[in-house]
């Protein structure tokens, strides 16, 4: 018998052993699937074993997985389901200092900034529009014989912003 055949034989024996251990554990715990065993296998980092980890260990570290299952499921009188690892609540990465304003509040603040003549605050609070959208609105106002200084200012601002972008990004300028 060659070395490769011996290794193949020992690998099939190991996989059969791990399968037997897993089947025993499934019967003892009374779960339906192999993945359901994970909730009974603790991890050093806290919580229970992830099902991907179980699959990985089953193929790469079958002896270690078998010993974990033996220790925490088979040798214990009544296996205990492990609570999941504590995770950060959803939305916890949101900035706490970020204020949300209603549309009316933003418009009021924008009017206050206009009255004060603060162009920087006006540009920050003004809704960002594309050059095309500004053009359309400006053309519509001209067709209706309405003069709206704000539309013209928005158009000029969007053109200036586009030109600054084009200066920093030559590919953007080449596309148009």
| 30 shares its domain with 49 | yes
| 14 shares its domain with 67 | yes
| 119 shares its domain with 134 | no
Question: How far is Cα 136 from Cα 158, in angstroms, rounded to an integer?
Answer: 13
| 136 shares its domain with 115 | no
Residue 155 lies in a domain: yes
Residue 3 lies in a domain: no
Please write the tens of the pLDDT for every residue from 78-135: 888 999 888 777 766 666 677 788 888 988 988 898 899 887 887 778 767 777 888 8
Residue 106 and residue 125 in contact, taking contact as beta carbons nearer than 8 Å = yes
- pTM for the model stands at 0.47
Instruction: List C-alpha distances in Å: 60 to 11, 12, 38, 67.
Output: 11, 13, 17, 14
pLDDT score at 6: 53
Residue 85 lies in a domain: no
- The torsion region of residue 47 among left (phi > 0), alpha (psi -120 to 50) and beta comes to left
What is the tally of structural domains in the chain?
3
| 53 shares its domain with 14 | yes
Residue 105, domain extent: 99-126
Residue 94 lies in a domain: no
Please write the tens of the pLDDT for every residue from 156-172: 877 887 777 777 666 65
Domain boundary among 74, 91, 118: 74
| 63 shares its domain with 16 | yes
- pLDDT of 23 > 70? The answer is yes
Question: How far is Cα 37 from Cα 25, in angstroms, rounded to an integer?
Answer: 8
- pLDDT of 53 > 90? The answer is yes
């Amino acid at each position: 018998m060659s070395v490769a055949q011996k290794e193949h034989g020992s690998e099939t024996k190991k996989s059969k052993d791990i399968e037997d251990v897993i089947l025993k554990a499934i019967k003892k715990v009374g779960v339906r699937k192999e993945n359901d065993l994970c909730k009974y296998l603790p991890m050093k980092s806290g919580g229970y074993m992830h099902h991907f980890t179980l699959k990985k260990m089953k193929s790469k570290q079958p002896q270690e997985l078998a010993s974990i299952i033996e220790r925490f499921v088979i040798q214990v009188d009544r296996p205990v389901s492990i609570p999941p690892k504590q995770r950060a609540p959803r939305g916890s990465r949101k900035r706490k200092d970020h204020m949300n304003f209603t549309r009316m509040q933003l418009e009021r603040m924008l009017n206050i900034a206009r009255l004060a003549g603060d162009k920087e605050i006006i540009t920050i609070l003004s809704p960002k529009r594309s050059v095309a959208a500004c053009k359309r609105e400006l053309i519509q106002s001209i067709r209706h014989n309405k003069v709206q200084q704000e539309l013209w200012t928005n158009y000029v601002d969007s053109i200036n912003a586009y030109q600054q972008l084009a200066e920093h990004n030559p590919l953007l300028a080449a596309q148009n």
